[in-house]
C-alpha cells in the first residue's frame, strides 16, 4: 500500500518534468528483476517506472504482462517481440524500430507468473489513471466502468489524491464508491459505499446494485444454513407447476415428465410393420390414441411411465424453491435492496419528468404543424388538405438553402424567412386560384386541396427524388440537454419548443393587437357585415391563408431539422394536425394549444405503458380522440353562442 | 300515378344491359374461352375495376346522396378483403402443411396441423400462435359472413358514435379519416395478428381450384364481380329511389329540417353508412383474390380519398357517374403507371408518365372540381334531360348545404 | 278547450346573455295565438326550446294530456309527438319536387326500414292532393320546389306542416316578404288550421296580427310582458314603452 502511495507522490512531482533517461536504460538498471520477475522484485521496477515517466512505460508493462518481452542473450537488451514462425519480429522499446530475426535462438522470452502479472496489471491501471493526458485518463476510467474488477480498486484509490481535473476527480470518486460497493474489503466499507450510491440514477450505479443483488434459483428439501435468501417462491404465485417441476428434474430431484415430443419419439422408435404395440400407426392421429398406445408400451416396459399427478404434487410439496443472493452477507444485500428501492423511486420521478419533456416537445411539434391549419380552418372554414405539403415545401426550402449556404447557422437563419416566403406565396396562389371559387362548398375544398396535395407531393418526388434529404442542424443545436441518465432532451426539441412559444405569442399578438387581426376576427364572425364596414374580405382571406401557409413552411424547417425531409413528410402530420384542431376547438389559438397538449401528452402517456409499440400508441390516441369528440363535440375551447340561423 | 321501379329509374335498365354486354364481350375474348384476345392479367384488371366500381357506387350513395363525405369506405373494402384473405390463406396453408406432414412417421393430430399452419402463416412476424382474430378462419361460410359483418359492425359502432354526437360536414370527414388511420396503424402492428406490413399474400390461389388454372378462375371472378356490381347497382338504385331516397337527399340538403319533420336523421345516416360499408366489404372480398395480396397500406386514408376522387370525377349523385369515374380513373391509372403510355419528349425534358401521372390526375381533379362539379356523368345528364324531364338528385351538397352548417359540429 | 302546451319558469342563458328569463306560456287546443315582441325578445328561442333545438337551463315544458315533458326528447321525437314548426326562412327541399316534399312530411311511420320496405298507404295520393289543394299548389306538384316563388315556398312549408298533422303548429313570420294577396291567403290558411289544432304565430307585422284576430302574447327580454287581445295589449303602457322606446 505504502509503495503505491509513494508512486503517486512521485508522479505528482515528477510527471511534469521532462526526463532524459530512456526506457531501455531504466530497464537495464534493473535488468535482473525484469528478466526474472517475482512478487518480491516486481514492485521495484514498477516504482522505478513510475518515478521516471519515460515514453512507452505503459506499453512496456502491457507487453511484459502479455509475455511479449524478450531479452537478447548476447547483450541483455530487452525487446518487445512477436513470434513469427521460428523467428521473431523485434520492436525497439525506445525508438519503435522493427527488425526481424529468423531464429529465436539467441533470445529468451520473459514469462512473469500470475501473481506478478496481477501486480503489473494494477500498475498499468495506475499508470493510465495517472497519465498526464486527460483523454487517456478518461479512457482508463471508461474501461474500468465498462468492466469493473476487484484489482482495479486499489490503483483507482491511489490515483484520486493526485487528480488535478475536478470533473475527472468526481468521476474517480464515484467509480471508487462503485468498486468499493462490489469489491470492498469489509462489510462496513461496502455498506457505506452502497448507501453513498443510493439514489444515483446512472446506468453504471444501477448496474452495480443489480450485480450485488444477483440471485440464483435453488431448489432443495430445506434451505441450507447461511444462505442469503432473496425470496421463497410459492408455486402458483411465483412459479407455475410445470416450471417448478422442471426445476426439480434439472436438479435430478425428480424423474422427467413425458412430453408430447417424447411420446412421438418413443412411438416412432417402436414402429414395427406399421404397428406400435399392436396398434395401427394410421390410427395415431389424435392425442388420445397416442397416449393409449404409449400406455401399452409402458405396460410392456418399453417406455418410461407417465408421472402420476399425485407423485408430482408430493415431489413439489417436499421441496422448497427459493432465490438466493450470490452475495452471502445479509447486511450488504439489505443495504443494496434499500438503495435499489431509492433508485427505483428516483427513476420513476426521472421517467415522469422525461416523459413530460417528451410530451411537451411532441405537443410543440403538433402545435407548430397545426396552428397554421387552425388559422385557415378556424377563420375561413376551409379545410386545407395540402397543409402537410406546405410543411414539406418549407423543409425542402431549408434543404435547398443549405445546398447554397454551407454555414449551417447562417442557412437556418436564411431558411426560416425563406420558407415562410415560399409557402406564403404558395398559399396565396392557391387561395386565389382555387379556394376562392369554392368558399361555399367546404367538402369540395377538401377534395380540391387534396388534388393539389398529390400534385405537390409528386412534384417533390420528381424534383428531389424519393430518398430522404438531410437538413443538418448547426452544432449548437445538435447536442442534448442531459440532466442525468434518465432525463435528457435534445437541444433541437428545446428549440422547437421555443419556436412554438414564439409563434403562440406572435399569432396572439397579430390577432389581438393589430389592425389585420381585428379585420380577420371581423371577417370570421360576419363576413357580410365586415365587407359593409369597408373591410375587403377577399384581401383578408388571402392574407389569412398566406399566413397560415407561411407558418406551415416554418414548421417544415423545424420538423425537417430533427426528422428526415421526404416528399411524404407532410402526410405524416396532416391527420394529427386536423385532430389537434378539432380536439382543441375551431377558431381559437388557445384551443389549438390545448389540443396539441392533449394529443401530445396522451400519445406519450400511452407510449409509457407500451414503449415498444409507437404504432399502438397512435392507434389508441386516435380512438381516444374519436371518443373525446363524443363528449365535447366542439372541442376543448368551444365558442358558445346562440344557435345561429334557422 | 305510381310507376314501377324500373320506369322511375330507366338508367338501371340501361346500366344492366351495358354491363351484360360488356361481360359477355370480355368472356368471348378471354383466354379461357379460347380466343385469347384479352390476357389473363388484363382480365384480372377488368375484374378488379368492376369491384372498384361497386365500392364507388357505395361511396356515391353515402356521399352524393346522403352528404356524408366518408374517408373510410376504402377501409371497409380492405376489411372485406382481409376477411376473405384469412380463409384463403388458412385453407391454402392447410393443404401445403398436410402434404408436408404426410411424410412424418405418425399421422398428425389436429393440434399439430393447427400449429404447423400457425407457424407457416405467422412465421414472418415471429409468431406461431393463432390470434383470436383468426378463430373462424378455417370456415369459409363464417369468413364470408365476416366479409359483410365485420365492416358492417365497425361502421355501425363508429357511425353511431359519430352521428349521435351530431358531427357533420368536414368534421365528420376528418373523423372518418382518423378512424381509417387508426385502423391502418392497427393492421400495421404485428401484434394484431394480421401479419403486420406483410399483409396476406398468395390470395389468387383458390384452395380446391388449383387444377383449374388462373385463366379460368380469373374469368369466374370476373363474372362474380360483374354480378355483384349489377346487384349492388339495383340495390342502391332501389334505396335511393322513392321516399327513402327522398329522405336521405333531404338529409344531405338540410339535416335540421328533416329532424323537425320527425325523422330520426341519425338512424337514416347510420343505415346508409352501414349498408354501404357492407357492400364495400363485399367488393373488397371479390377484389383481393384477383389482386393476390392485401396489406395495411391498402386501407390507409389516402385510398379512401382516392375513392372520393373517382366519385367526384365521375359525377356524384348519380350511380352511373360513380361507375364511370372509378372505371375511367383506375384504368387510366394502370395505363399510365404500367408504362404503356408513351413518354413525351420535350427536347430539354422527357415526361415519363410513371412520374407525372399523379400530377396529371391531381391537376385534372382540381379542374373538375372547379369547372365541372357534376363530373363526367354530367355529360349524360345533359343528353338525358331532354327526353326525361323527371330526373332527380342532380344536386350535390354544394347547392343544398351551407358553409355555416358544415363548419360547425352541431 | 284544454291546455296542450305548458311552458313554465323557463330560462336560457347564452354566454351570460339571458335570452329567456323565467318565461311561462300556456297554449290551449284548439287555439290561435300570436306572439309578438321586438327583436331579441326571445320569440325564436322560445320556439327553439319547444321544438328541442335548445335545451333550457331551468324550467318545465309539458305537452299533451299525458303531460309529457319535452325536455328530454330529441327534435325528431318532439316532431313525432305532434309539434310542427315552420321556419322564418322558407326551408323546403329545393332539389325535390313539391310532391316529394309533401310525401316526406305526411304523417306516417318514420323509421328507415318502414320507409324503405313499408307499403305505401293507400290514401297517400289522396292526402297529397288534399294538402296541395289546401295550399293551392296542385298544378305544380311535379315541379322542383326550388322553382317556386317565395310565397309558394312559404305555403309549401305550411302545407308540409299540415301534412304532418301536428297538434301544435309553430309558425315563424309566415307573411314575411309576401304580397297583400298572398298574405290574405296565408291568413286564411292559418285560421282554418287553428280550428282543429293549436297554432302559434310569431309575427312582427301588426296588421297581419290584427287580421288573425286572436289572443296576443307580447314578449320582452325573454319574459311575457302582456297577454290578451291585440287592442288590450296595444293599450298597455309597458308595451308602448317597449315598442316606441322610452
- Which chain B residues touch A616 with a CB distance below 8 Å? 185-186, 189, 191
Cβ of C48 and A640 within 8 Å? no
Q: Residue A273 — left, alpha, or beta (φ > 0 → left; ψ -120 to 50 → alpha)?
A: left
Q: Which of C13, C14, C91 to mutate to test the interface with A (most CBs of A within 10 A)?
A: C14
Q: How close A607 comes to chain B (CA, Å)?
A: 14
Specify if A37 maps to a domain: yes
Judged by CB atoms within 8 Å, which residues 285-304 of A form the interface with B?
285-287, 290
Residue of B97 and C177 predicted with greater confidence: B97
Q: From the CA of A379, how many Å to the nearest CA of chain B?
A: 10
- pLDDT bucket at C22, cuts 50 / 70 / 90: confident
Q: Flag if A646 and C45 touch (Cβ within 8 Å).
A: no
How many domains are there within chain A?
Answer: 3
Q: Of A513, A541, A569, which one is at a domain's C-terminal end? A: A569
| pLDDT the model gives residue B3 | 56
Interface contact B398-A579, CB threshold 8 A: no
Looking at beta carbons, which residues of chain B come within 8 Å of A457? 358
Pairwise CA distance, residues C121 & C106, whole Å: 10
Kindly report, residue by residue over B58-73, the tens digit of the pLDDT.
Answer: 999 999 999 999 999 9
Residue that is last in its domain, among A538, A569, A600 = A569
Q: Kindly state the average pLDDT of the residues C44-53.
A: 87
pLDDT band at B53 (very low <50, low <70, confident <90, very high): very high
Judge whether A309 lies within some domain. yes
A524-528, B365-369, C25-29, range with the lowest pLDDT: A524-528
Question: Domain range spanning residue A276?
Answer: 216-325
* Stretch B310-319: mean pLDDT: 88
Provide the shortest C-alpha distance from residue C55 to chain B (in Å). Answer: 13
Closest chain B residue to A442 measured between Cα atoms?
Answer: B403
User: How far away is chain B from the Cα of A254, in angstroms, using its nearest Cα?
Assistant: 29
pLDDT value of residue B408: 32
Q: Give the nearest chain C residue to B259 (CA atoms).
A: C76
Does any CB of chain C come closer than 8 Å to the CB of residue B381?
Answer: no
Task: Let me know whether A33 and A93 are in one domain.
Answer: yes
Residue of A525, A638, A642, A644 to mutate, interface with C, max C Cβ within 10 Å: A642
Identify the weakest region by mean pLDDT among A176-180, A225-229, A354-358, A599-603: A225-229
Label residue A6 by pLDDT band (50, 70, 90): low
Q: Does B408 touch chain C (CB under 8 A)?
A: no
Confidence (pLDDT) at B4? 65
Q: Do C15 and A641 touch (CB under 8 A)?
A: yes
Please, which pLDDT band fits residue C227 given cuts at 50, 70 and 90?
A: confident
Q: What is the pLDDT of residues C60-73, one digit of tens each?
A: 898 888 888 888 88
Cβ–Cβ gap A625/B178 under 8 Å: yes
CB contact under 8 A, C84 and B243: no
**Chain C residue numbers touching A525 (CB-CB < 8 A):** none
Query: Do A641 and C19 make contact, defined as CB atoms within 8 angstroms?
Result: no
DSSP one-letter string for C193-217: HTTTSEEEEE-S-HHHHHHH--EEE
Determine contact, residues B333/B361, Cβ cutoff 8 Å: yes
Query: Which whole number is the average pLDDT over A354-373?
Result: 88
Question: Does any domain span residue A193?
Answer: no
Range of the domain at C198: 2-244
Question: Do the Cβ atoms of B185 and A441 come within 8 Å?
Answer: no
Rounded mean pLDDT of chain A? 82
Q: Which residues of B touch A579 (CB under 8 A)?
A: 174, 178
Statement to judge: residues A318 and A359 lie in one domain: no
User: Does C115 contact B247 at a Cβ distance shorter than 8 Å?
Assistant: yes
Residue B133 above 80 pLDDT?
Answer: yes
d(CA A608, CA A602): 10
**A389 and A319, same domain (yes or no):** no
- Interface probe with B: pick from A454, A524, A637, most Cβ of B within 10 Å: A454
Rounded CA gap, C125 and C88, in Å? 29
Instruction: Judge whether B262 is closer than 8 Å to chain C, CB to CB.
Output: yes
> Are both A300 and A372 inside the same structural domain?
no
Instruction: Note the pLDDT tens digit of each residue in A549-570.
Output: 999 999 999 888 888 888 888 8
Three cell numbers at B390? Answer: 323527371
**Same domain (yes/no): A395, A433:** yes
A205 falls within a domain: no
Which one of A482-486, A627-631, B286-290, B356-360 scores highest in mean pLDDT? B286-290
pTM over the 0.90 mark: no
**Do A371 and A312 share a domain, yes or no?**
no
Mean pLDDT of A436-445: 82
Asked if A355 reaches chain B (Cβ–Cβ under 8 Å), the answer is no
Q: A380 in a domain, yes or no?
A: yes
- Looking at the fold, whether A112 and A69 belong to one and the same domain comes out as yes
Q: How many CB pairs under 8 A join A and C?
A: 19
CATH of the domain at C220: 3.40.50.300
Please determine, for residue A9, whether its predicted confidence score (pLDDT) is greater than 80: no
Pick the closest to residue A625 from A609, A607, A601 (CA basis).
A601
pLDDT at B157 over 90: yes
Tell me: pLDDT of A442 over 70.
yes
Mean pLDDT of chain B: 85
User: Over the stretch A82-127, which tens digit does the pLDDT of each residue have?
Assistant: 887 778 888 887 887 888 887 778 888 888 888 888 778 777 777 7
Q: Which of residues 257-276 of A touch B (CB under 8 A)?
A: 264, 267-268, 271
What is the pLDDT, as a whole number, of residue C245?
56
Q: What are phi and psi of A70, to 5 degrees?
A: -120, 155
Residue B1: what pLDDT? Answer: 40
Residue B156 pLDDT > 90 = yes
Please check whether residues A293 and A409 belong to one and the same domain: no
Are A363 and A302 within one domain? no
Q: Which residues in chain A have their CB less than 8 angstroms from residue B305's CB?
A: 385, 447, 450
Q: Is the pLDDT of residue A77 over 60?
A: yes
Reply yes or no on whether the pLDDT at C112 is more than 60.
yes
Please give the pLDDT value at position B342: 80
Cβ contact (<8 Å) for B165 and A633? yes
Q: Which of residues 54-93 of A touch B (CB under 8 A)?
A: none
Extended beta strands in A132-178, E state: none
What band does B404 get if pLDDT is binned at 50, 70 and 90?
Answer: very low
pLDDT band, residue A15 (cuts 50/70/90): very low
pLDDT at A261: 83
B181 Cβ contact list (under 8 Å, min separation 6) = A575, A618, A622, B300, B301
3-state secondary structure chain B: CCCCHHHHCHHHHHHHHHHHHHHHHHHHHECCCCCCCECHHHHHHHHHHHHHHHHHHHHHHHHHHCCCCCCCHHHHHHHHHHHHHHHHHHHHHHHHHHHHHHCCCCCCCHHHHHHHHHHHHHHHHCCCCCCHHHCCCCCHHHHHHHHHHHHHHHHHHHHHHHHHCCCCHHHHHHHHHHHHHHHHHHHHCHHHCCCHHHCEECCCCCCCCHHHCHHHHHHHHHHHHHHHHHHHHHHHHHHHCHHHHHHHHHHHHCHHHHHHCCCCHHHHHHHHHHHHHHHHHHHHHHHHHHHCEECHHHHCHHHHHHHHHHHHHHCCCCHHHHHHHHHHHHHHHHHHHCCCCCCEECCCCEECHHHHHHHHHHHHHHHHHHHCCCCCHHHHHHHHCCCCCCCCCCCCHHHHCCHHHHHCCC
One domain for residues A369 and A259: no
Question: Are A28 and A111 in the same domain?
Answer: yes
What length does chain B have?
A: 410
In a domain, A192, yes or no: no
Regarding whether A317 and A374 lie in a shared domain, the answer is no
How deeply is A619 buried, as exposed, middle or buried, from its count of CB atoms within 10 A (0-12, 13-18, 19+)? Answer: buried
* A36 in a structural domain: yes
Q: Is the pLDDT of residue B144 over 60?
A: yes
Greatest mean pLDDT among A371-375, C15-19, C40-44 lies in A371-375
How many domains is chain C partitioned into structurally? 1
More confident position, A498 or A227: A498
The better pLDDT of the pair B189, B385 is held by: B189
In chain B, pLDDT over 70 holds for what percent of residues? 92
Amino acid at each position: 500500500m505504502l509503495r503505491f502511495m509513494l508512486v503517486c507522490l512521485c508522479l505528482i512531482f515528477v510527471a511534469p518534468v521532462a526526463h532524459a533517461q530512456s526506457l531501455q536504460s531504466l530497464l537495464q538498471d534493473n535488468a535482473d528483476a525484469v528478466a526474472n520477475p517475482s512478487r518480491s522484485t516486481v514492485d521495484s521496477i514498477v516504482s522505478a517506472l513510475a518515478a521516471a515517466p519515460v515514453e512507452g512505460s505503459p506499453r512496456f508493462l502491457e507487453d511484459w504482462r502479455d509475455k511479449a518481452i524478450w531479452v537478447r542473450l548476447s547483450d541483455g537488451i530487452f525487446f518487445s517481440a512477436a513470434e513469427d514462425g521460428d523467428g521473431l519480429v523485434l520492436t525497439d522499446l525506445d525508438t519503435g524500430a522493427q527488425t526481424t530475426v529468423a531464429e529465436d535462438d539467441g533470445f529468451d522470452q520473459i514469462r512473469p507468473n500470475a501473481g506478478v502479472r496481477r501486480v503489473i496489471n494494477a500498475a498499468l491501471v495506475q499508470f493510465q489513471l495517472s497519465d498526464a493526458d486527460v483523454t487517456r485518463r478518461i479512457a482508463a476510467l471508461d474501461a474500468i466502468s465498462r468492466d469493473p474488477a476487484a484489482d482495479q480498486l486499489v490503483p483507482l484509490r491511489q490515483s484520486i489524491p493526485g487528480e488535478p481535473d475536478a470533473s475527472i476527480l468526481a468521476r474517480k470518486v464515484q467509480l471508487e464508491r462503485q468498486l468499493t460497493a462490489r469489491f470492498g474489503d469489509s462489510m462496513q466499507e461496502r455498506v457505506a459505499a452502497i448507501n453513498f450510491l443510493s439514489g444515483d440514477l446512472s446506468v453504471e450505479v444501477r448496474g452495480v446494485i443489480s450485480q450485488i443483488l444477483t440471485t440464483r434459483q435453488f431448489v432443495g428439501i430445506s434451505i441450507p444454513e447461511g444462505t442469503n435468501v432473496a425470496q421463497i417462491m410459492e408455486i402458483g404465485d411465483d412459479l407455475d407447476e410445470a416450471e417448478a417441476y422442471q426445476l426439480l428434474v434439472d436438479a435430478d430431484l425428480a424423474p422427467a415428465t413425458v412430453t408430447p415430443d417424447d411420446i412421438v419419439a418413443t412411438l416412432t422408435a417402436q414402429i414395427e410393420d406399421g404397428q406400435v404395440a399392436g396398434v395401427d400407426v394410421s390410427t395415431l392421429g389424435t392425442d388420445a390414441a397416442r397416449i393409449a398406445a404409449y400406455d401399452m408400451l409402458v405396460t410392456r416396459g418399453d417406455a418410461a411411465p407417465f408421472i402420476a399427478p399425485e407423485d408430482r404434487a408430493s415431489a413439489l410439496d417436499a421441496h422448497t424453491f427459493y432465490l438466493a443472493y450470490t452475495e452471502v452477507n445479509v447486511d450488504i444485500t439489505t443495504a443494496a435492496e434499500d438503495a435499489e428501492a431509492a433508485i427505483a423511486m428516483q427513476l420513476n420521478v426521472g421517467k415522469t419528468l422525461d416523459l413530460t419533456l417528451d410530451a411537451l416537445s411532441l405537443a410543440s411539434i403538433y402545435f407548430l404543424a397545426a396552428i397554421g391549419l387552425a388559422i385557415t380552418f378556424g377563420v375561413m372554414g376551409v379545410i386545407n388538405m395540402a397543409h402537410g405539403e406546405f410543411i414539406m415545401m418549407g423543409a425542402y426550402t431549408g434543404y435547398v438553402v443549405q445546398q447554397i449556404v454551407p454555414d449551417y447557422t447562417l442557412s437556418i437563419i436564411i431558411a426560416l424567412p425563406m420558407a415562410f416566403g415560399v409557402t406564403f406565396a404558395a398559399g396565396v396562389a392557391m387561395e386565389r386560384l382555387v379556394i376562392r371559387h369554392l368558399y361555399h362548398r367546404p367538402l369540395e375544398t377538401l377534395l380540391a386541396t387534396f388534388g393539389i396535395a398529390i400534385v405537390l407531393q409528386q412534384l417533390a418526388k420528381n424534383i428531389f427524388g424519393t430518398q430522404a434529404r438531410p437538413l443538418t442542424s448547426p452544432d449548437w443545436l445538435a447536442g442534448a440537454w442531459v440532466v442525468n441518465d434518465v432525463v435528457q432532451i435534445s437541444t433541437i426539441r428545446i428549440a422547437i419548443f421555443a419556436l412554438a412559444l414564439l409563434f403562440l405569442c406572435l399569432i396572439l399578438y397579430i390577432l389581438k393587437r393589430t389592425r389585420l387581426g381585428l379585420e380577420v376576427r371581423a371577417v370570421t364572425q360576419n363576413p357580410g357585415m365586415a365587407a359593409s364596414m369597408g373591410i375587403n374580405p377577399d384581401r383578408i382571406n388571402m392574407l389569412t391563408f398566406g399566413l397560415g401557409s407561411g407558418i406551415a413552411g416554418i414548421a417544415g424547417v423545424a420538423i425537417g431539422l430533427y426528422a428526415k425531409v421526404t416528399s411524404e413528410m407532410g402526410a405524416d402530420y396532416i391527420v394529427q394536425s386536423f385532430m389537434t384542431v378539432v380536439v382543441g376547438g375551431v377558431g381559437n389559438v388557445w384551443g389549438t394549444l390545448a389540443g396539441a397538449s392533449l394529443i401530445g401528452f396522451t400519445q406519450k402517456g400511452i407510449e409509457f405503458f407500451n414503449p415498444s409499440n409507437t404504432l399502438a400508441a397512435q392507434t389508441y390516441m386516435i380512438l381516444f380522440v374519436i371518443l373525446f369528440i363524443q363528449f365535447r363535440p366542439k372541442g376543448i375551447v368551444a365558442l358558445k353562442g346562440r344557435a345561429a340561423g334557422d | 300515378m305510381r310507376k314501377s321501379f324500373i320506369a322511375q329509374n330507366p338508367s338501371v335498365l340501361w346500366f344492366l344491359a351495358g354491363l351484360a354486354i360488356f361481360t359477355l364481350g370480355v368472356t368471348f375474348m378471354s383466354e379461357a374461352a379460347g380466343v385469347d384476345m384479352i390476357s389473363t392479367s388484363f382480365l384480372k384488371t377488368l375484374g378488379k375495376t368492376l369491384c372498384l366500381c361497386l365500392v364507388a357506387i357505395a361511396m356515391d350513395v353515402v356521399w352524393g346522396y346522403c352528404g356524408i363525405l366518408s374517408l373510410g369506405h376504402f377501409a371497409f373494402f380492405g376489411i372485406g378483403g382481409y376477411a376473405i384473405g384469412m380463409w384463403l390463406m388458412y385453407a391454402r396453408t392447410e393443404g401445403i402443411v398436410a402434404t408436408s406432414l404426410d411424410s412424418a412417421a405418425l399421422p398428425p393430430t389436429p393440434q399439430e396441423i393447427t400449429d404447423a399452419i400457425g407457424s407457416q402463416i405467422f412465421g414472418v412476424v415471429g409468431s406461431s400462435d393463432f390470434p383470436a382474430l383468426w378463430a373462424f378462419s378455417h370456415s369459409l361460410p363464417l369468413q364470408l359472413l365476416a366479409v359483410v359483418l365485420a365492416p358492417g359492425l365497425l361502421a355501425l359502432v363508429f357511425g353511431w358514435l359519430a352521428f349521435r354526437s351530431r358531427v357533420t360536414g368536414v368534421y365528420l370527414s376528418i373523423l372518418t379519416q382518423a378512424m381509417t388511420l387508426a385502423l391502418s396503424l392497427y393492421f400495421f402492428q404485428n401484434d394484431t395478428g394480421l401479419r403486420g406490413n406483410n399483409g396476406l399474400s398468395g390470395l389468387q390461389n383458390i384452395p380446391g381450384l388449383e387444377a383449374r388454372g388462373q385463366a379460368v378462375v380469373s374469368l369466374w371472378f370476373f363474372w362474380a364481380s360483374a354480378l355483384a356490381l349489377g346487384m349492388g347497382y339495383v340495390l342502391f338504385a332501389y334505396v335511393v329511389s322513392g321516399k327513402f331516397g327522398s329522405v336521405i337527399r333531404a338529409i344531405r340538403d338540410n339535416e335540421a329540417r328533416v329532424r323537425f319533420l320527425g325523422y330520426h336523421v341519425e338512424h337514416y345516416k347510420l343505415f346508409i353508412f352501414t349498408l354501404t360499408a357492407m357492400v364495400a366489404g363485399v367488393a373488397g372480398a371479390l377484389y383481393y383474390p384477383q389482386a393476390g395480396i392485401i396489406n395495411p397500406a391498402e386501407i390507409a386514408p389516402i385510398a379512401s380519398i382516392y375513392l372520393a376522387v373517382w366519385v367526384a370525377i365521375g359525377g356524384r349523385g348519380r350511380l352511373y357517374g360513380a361507375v364511370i369515374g372509378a372505371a375511367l380513373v383506375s384504368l387510366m391509372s394502370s395505363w399510365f403507371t404500367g408504362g404503356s403510355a408513351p413518354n413525351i419528349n420535350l427536347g430539354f425534358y422527357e415526361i415519363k408518365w410513371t412520374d407525372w401521372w399523379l400530377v396529371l390526375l391531381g391537376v385534372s381533379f382540381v379542374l373538375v372540381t372547379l369547372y365541372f362539379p357534376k363530373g363526367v356523368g354530367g355529360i349524360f345528364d345533359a343528353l338525358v334531360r331532354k327526353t326525361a324531364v323527371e330526373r332527380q338528385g342532380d344536386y350535390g351538397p354544394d347547392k343544398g348545404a351551407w358553409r355555416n352548417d358544415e363548419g360547425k359540429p352541431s | 278547450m284544454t291546455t296542450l302546451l305548458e311552458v313554465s319558469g323557463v330560462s336560457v342563458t347564452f354566454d351570460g346573455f339571458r335570452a329567456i328569463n323565467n318565461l311561462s306560456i300556456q297554449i290551449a287546443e284548439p287555439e290561435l295565438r300570436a306572439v309578438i315582441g321586438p327583436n331579441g325578445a326571445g320569440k325564436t328561442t322560445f320556439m327553439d326550446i319547444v321544438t328541442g333545438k335548445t335545451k333550457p337551463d331551468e324550467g318545465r315544458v309539458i305537452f299533451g294530456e299525458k303531460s309529457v315533458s319535452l325536455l328530454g326528447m330529441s327534435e325528431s321525437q318532439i316532431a313525432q309527438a305532434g309539434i310542427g314548426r315552420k321556419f322564418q326562412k322558407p326551408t323546403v327541399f329545393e332539389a325535390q319536387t313539391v310532391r316529394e316534399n309533401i310525401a316526406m312530411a305526411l304523417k306516417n311511420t318514420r323509421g328507415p326500414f318502414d320507409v324503405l320496405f313499408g307499403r305505401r298507404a293507400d290514401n297517400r295520393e289522396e292526402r297529397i292532393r288534399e294538402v296541395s289543394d289546401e295550399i293551392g299548389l296542385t298544378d305544380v306538384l311535379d315541379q322542383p320546389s326550388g322553382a317556386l316563388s317565395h310565397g309558394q315556398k312559404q305555403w309549401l312549408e305550411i302545407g308540409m306542416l299540415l301534412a304532418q298533422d301536428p297538434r301544435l303548429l309553430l309558425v315563424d313570420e309566415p307573411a314575411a316578404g309576401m304580397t297583400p294577396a298572398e298574405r290574405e291567403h296565408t291568413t286564411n290558411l292559418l285560421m282554418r288550421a287553428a280550428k282543429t289544432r293549436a297554432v302559434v304565430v310569431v309575427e312582427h307585422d301588426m296588421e297581419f296580427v290584427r287580421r288573425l284576430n286572436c289572443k296576443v302574447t307580447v314578449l320582452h327580454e325573454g319574459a311575457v310582458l302582456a297577454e290578451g287581445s291585440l287592442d288590450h295589449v296595444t293599450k298597455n303602457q309597458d308595451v308602448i314603452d317597449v315598442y316606441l322606446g322610452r
